Amino acid sequence: MPNPTAAMLVIGDEILSGRTRDANMHHLAQEFAKHGIDLKEVRIVSDDRDAIVAALNALRQGYDHVVTSGGIGPTHDDITAPCVAKAFGVAISVRDDARAILQEHYDRQGSELNEARLRMARIPDGATLIENPVSAAPGFTLGNVHVMAGVPAVFQAMVSSVLPKMTGGQPLLSQTLRIERGEGDIAGPLSALAERFTDLSIGSYPYQRNGVYGANVVIRGTDGGRIDAAMSELSALFPEAVSH
């Protein structure tokens, strides 16, 4: 059976403006690869309700899982939760279990659970909460959409909370060969190799170091034996190359 597929929706003007560098996609891709979920697409949208709803509806219909990042905090521009509710056609309100989690957290801190903070307890009808051991405010899962915070430490904690509940497949394996030749020299043999190993992904990633052109050739797949076989053929074609 093929691995489950996934997409990620990164939400926030600060990402598109270049003010904030997104780290969550890198983390999610690594965790999904280990769990046997194939991350197939990543979209970034602004803090615009129509754009968020349209992207959510397209992605959730095209993939087994969708993970969102950002827009579930206490400020006016945190609009992800109501957008998810709109995409699914359900109501959203402050939920008692989410409120209790926040109340306990802010009581422990000696802070007030004010109206702004209470926005983080708004949960669409029918959703289940995603635990947040870092800052308490929960994410949530509705259907195949998993809604998480944008702060990297919190996002990573939420991924750890929800990943064991997601059905996975075969972990993605990879091996790399560093070849100190230009891509124009290796393209022909790589193409022939890819035609013989159509079940694997063979990618070439060029670099220039100290005036020397080269490429890291990465072979990926779920069958370790097939990767070994392809790597053996590749190494024989370029005996001067270094695996790493």
Q: 132 with 236, same domain?
A: no
Report residue 52's pLDDT band, with 50, 70 and 90 as the boundaries. very high
What are the two backbone dihedrals, phi and then psi, of residue 7, each rounded to the nearest 5 degrees? -135, 160
Query: In the chain, how many domains are there?
Result: 2
The string of pLDDT tens digits covering residues 210-233 is: 888 999 999 999 999 999 999 999
Q: Mean of the per-residue pLDDT values for the chain?
A: 95
> Mean pLDDT over residues 36-47, rounded?
97
Q: 133 with 226, same domain?
A: no
Structural domain containing residue 226: 173-243
Q: Domain ends where: 165, 195, 217?
A: 165
Q: 50 with 140, same domain?
A: yes
CATH no. for residue 58? 3.40.980.10
Q: What is the DSSP letter of 84?
A: H
Q: 79 with 119, same domain?
A: yes
| Proportion of the chain in helix, strand, coil states, percent, rounded to 5 | 40, 25, 30
Spatial contact of 8 and 67, defined as CB atoms under 8 Å apart:
yes
pLDDT at 237: 93
Q: 11 with 60, same domain?
A: yes
Spatial contact of 101 and 155, defined as CB atoms under 8 Å apart:
no
Q: What is the DSSP letter of 126?
A: T
Report residue 43's pLDDT band, with 50, 70 and 90 as the boundaries. very high
Q: 108 with 213, same domain?
A: no
Q: What is the 3-state secondary structure (H, E, C) of 6-68?
A: EEEEEECHHHHCCCCCCCHHHHHHHHHHHHCCEEEEEEEECCCHHHHHHHHHHHHHHCCEEEE
Q: 194 with 134, same domain?
A: no
pLDDT at 1: 79
Q: 25 with 61, same domain?
A: yes
Question: Number of C-alpha atoms within 13 angstroms, CB side, residue 79?
Answer: 17
Q: Domain ends where: 140, 165, 190?
A: 165
Q: Domain ends where: 117, 147, 165?
A: 165
Distance in angstroms (rounded) separating the CA atoms of residues 64 and 3: 10
pLDDT at 240: 87
Give the whole-number percent of the chain exceeding pLDDT 70.
100
Distance in angstroms (rounded) separating the CA atoms of residues 31 and 148: 15
The string of pLDDT tens digits covering residues 68-88 is: 999 999 999 999 999 999 999
The string of pLDDT tens digits covering residues 106-140 is: 999 999 999 999 999 999 999 999 999 999 999 99
**Token reading at 12:** 């926030």
Spatial contact of 176 and 218, defined as CB atoms under 8 Å apart:
yes
> Mean pLDDT over residues 16-31, rounded?
95
Q: 51 with 75, same domain?
A: yes
Q: 83 with 100, same domain?
A: yes
CATH no. for residue 189? 3.30.70
CA distances, 198 to each of 34, 40, 206 (Å): 22, 18, 22
Q: 16 with 127, same domain?
A: yes
Single pTM value for the model:
0.88
CA distances, 231 to each of 30, 197, 198, 234 (Å): 22, 11, 14, 5
